[in-house]
Amino acid sequence: MVKAKIPSCGHCGKNAEIELEYTRQNLCSSCFSKVFEKRVRKANHKFQMFKRGDLVVVGVSGGKDSGALLYILSKMAGEIGFEVKPVLVDEGIHGYRNKALKEAEKLCEKRGLELEIFSYKKLFGKTMDEVMKARDEGKVKGKACSFCGVFRKKALNQAALELKATKVAIGHNADDVAQTFLMNLLRAEGERNERFRIVDKPKKGFVPRVRPLVFNTEKETALFCLTNDIPFHLGECPYSSEAFRAEVKGFLNETEEKYPGVKFNLLHSFLQNQEWLDEKTGKSGEEKEMRYCEECSSPSSGRKCKACELKEKLGS
């Protein structure tokens, strides 16, 4: 019986362990990790994310994306000369966040970093479980992500302001960017794609968010964590099934299986659109004059920011 030949790593010639179908590459685990980290450095260089003296809050969740992000940025911090501060936003989802928190704590301990925790309960008066209970009782209306997305963004920004951070790094990967781009198109909300950025434009009262994993896929992020023994919690948020994103994610995963590279095609279409907008509107200025929430002074499109509006509806 003839044994199947093990493919060789396209970089070093050793036995390959990982196949990247969309680039037709076979890589050993060591070379794969180098490719993954190189893409993060590419994102930093292309979008000018970090500079010497920055204090970077890294949004960690205990999941694979934020785990890979913290692992790499804690290495880059010493090379470039910036400081990393991991922050976990505790939504208060029993059986999910408490388990993920333990993995985040393990990683921070391994990297010699102190984890800061900011909770929905403390900031908004209710846990996410309590918000959903109020929703199910008919006291408020809306899908889980309508509340959670707003509160998470607000909590992470509040943490960054309190810690005097200059940047907030979040674990959005290539899949996330492609999903967001497609969702906005499917909803006929093209203006959202104008505001959605790999590096946020500067706004008073809002610490710019950056997305260093933009050139790596979700699957690759999981492989990177497994290859480098990065602890992470593998589990979906129990409320995520309500989200439109779940439908788009499933569609893109199925399409990627048939046509490898589709996700990166969407990503590059998004980036081309951003480049066109930057040429048209200017890269550094704010899109329009910003208003500020009369309750918390955060940037807002109206009298109150969305977080304060939701908090009021919940009676918090």
pLDDT tens digit sequence for 77-119: 999 999 999 999 999 999 999 999 999 999 999 999 999 999 9
Q: pLDDT tier at 6 (50, 70, 90 boundaries)?
A: confident
**Do the domain assignments include residue 30?**
no
pLDDT confidence of residue 215: 98
* Residue 308 domain flag: yes
**How many structural domains comprise the chain?**
1
Domain span at 230? 40-313
**Number of helices followed by number of strands (H, E) in the chain:** 12, 9
Q: Which of 254, 240, 178, 234 is nearest to 65 (CA)?
A: 234
In a domain? residue 22: no
The CATH number of the domain holding residue 232 is 3.40.50.620
93 within a domain of the structure (yes/no): yes
**Residue tagged 């198109």 (tokens):** 185
27, β-bridge pairs: 18
| E strand residue ranges, 120-253 | 167-169, 209-210
In this structure, the number of other CB atoms found within 10 A of the CB of residue 198 comes to: 20
pLDDT of residue 285: 47
Q: Which of 13, 36, 38, 17 is nearest to 28 (CA)?
A: 17
pLDDT tens readout for residues 155-210: 999 999 999 999 999 999 999 999 999 999 999 998 889 889 999 988 888 999 99
Q: C-alpha distances in angstroms, 146 versus 122, 207, 307?
A: 19, 21, 10
27 is a domain residue: no
Kindly report, residue by residue over 14-30, the tens digit of the pLDDT.
999 999 989 889 999 99
Residue 54 domain-assigned (yes or no): yes
- pLDDT for res 245: 92
Q: What's the pTM?
A: 0.92
Token pair for 278:
């930057």
